[in-house]
C-alpha cells in the first residue's frame, strides 16, 4: 500500500491542484490531500471550509482522502504511514522554494521522498492567489475552479454574482 501526501494551503482548491491530485491518484494506492492549518498567509477560507471544498471536488476518486494538519510535515507524513510527498511545479518560479523545502524535509527525515508533478500546460499559470484576485474583481473564474469553489468564492467575497 503506497501512500502519498499532497500538502498545501488550497485556499481555495484550483483546477491545477485537481490535476495534480488526479495524476497522483493514478500512481499511488492512497492519496491524502493535507490542508495546512498553520500557513504563514492569512487565508480566505478556514481549514474546514477548504477541506469540504476539496472533498466535494474529488468525490469520484475513491483512493483520495482529505485531512487537515498542523506542525511539521515530515511528522504528519510518518503519522499517516506515508512514503512520499507530492508537490506541484508550475513555472520556474516555484522551483527555488520547492527545492529548498524538499531538501530541508529530507534533512529532517531522509526516508520521505518529495516528488514533483507538472499540471496540464493550460493550468501552469494558475494559482489560488490569482483566482481570489480575479473573483474579488468580479471576473469569471469558471475556467479555473470547480463550480463549488466558484460558488464559495462568490459567497465569501459578498458578491451576488461572480459572473
Q: Which is nearer to ligand ADP, 82 or 160 (CB)?
A: 82
Q: How far is the CB of 144 from ligand ADP (least distance, A)?
A: 9
Place of cell 463550480: 147
Is 9 a residue that touches ligand ADP (CB under 6 A)? Answer: yes
| Burial readout 36-72 (b: 16 or more C-beta within 10 A, e: otherwise) | bbeeeeebbbebebbbbbbeebbeebeebebeebeee
Which member of 17, 30, 132, 150 is catalytic?
17
Q: Which of 15, 41, 9 is nearest to 149 (CA)?
A: 15
146: helix, coil or strand? coil
The one among 55, 94, 113, 148 contacting ligand ADP by CB under 6 A:
94
Mark 21-60 with x for binding to ligand ADP (rule: CB under 6 A) and - for no binding: ------------------x---------------------
User: CB burial class (10 A; 0-12, 13-18, 19+) of residue 26?
Assistant: exposed
Q: Which residues are catalytic?
A: 17, 41, 90, 128
Could you list the residues that contact ligand ADP (CB under 6 A)?
Answer: 8-10, 14, 16-17, 20, 39, 87-88, 90, 94, 119, 123, 126-128
Amino acid at each position: 500500500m503506497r501512500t502519498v501526501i499532497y500538502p498545501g494551503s488550497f485556499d481555495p482548491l484550483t483546477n491545477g491542484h485537481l490535476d495534480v491530485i488526479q495524476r497522483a491518484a493514478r500512481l499511488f494506492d492512497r492519496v491524502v490531500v493535507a490542508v495546512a492549518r498553520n500557513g504563514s498567509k492569512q487565508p480566505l477560507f478556514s481549514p474546514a471550509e477548504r477541506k469540504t471544498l476539496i472533498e466535494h471536488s474529488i468525490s469520484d476518486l475513491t483512493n483520495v482522502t482529505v485531512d487537515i494538519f498542523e506542525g511539521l510535515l515530515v511528522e504528519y507524513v510518518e503519522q499517516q504511514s506515508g512514503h512520499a510527498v507530492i508537490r506541484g511545479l508550475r513555472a520556474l518560479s516555484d522551483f527555488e522554494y520547492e527545492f529548498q523545502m524538499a531538501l530541508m524535509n529530507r534533512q529532517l527525515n531522509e526516508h520521505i521522498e518529495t516528488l514533483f508533478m507538472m499540471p496540464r500546460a493550460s493550468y501552469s499559470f494558475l494559482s489560488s492567489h490569482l483566482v481570489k484576485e480575479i473573483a474579488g474583481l468580479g471576473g469569471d473564474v469558471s475556467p479555473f475552479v470547480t463550480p463549488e469553489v466558484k460558488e464559495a468564492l462568490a459567497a465569501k467575497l459578498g458578491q451576488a454574482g461572480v459572473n
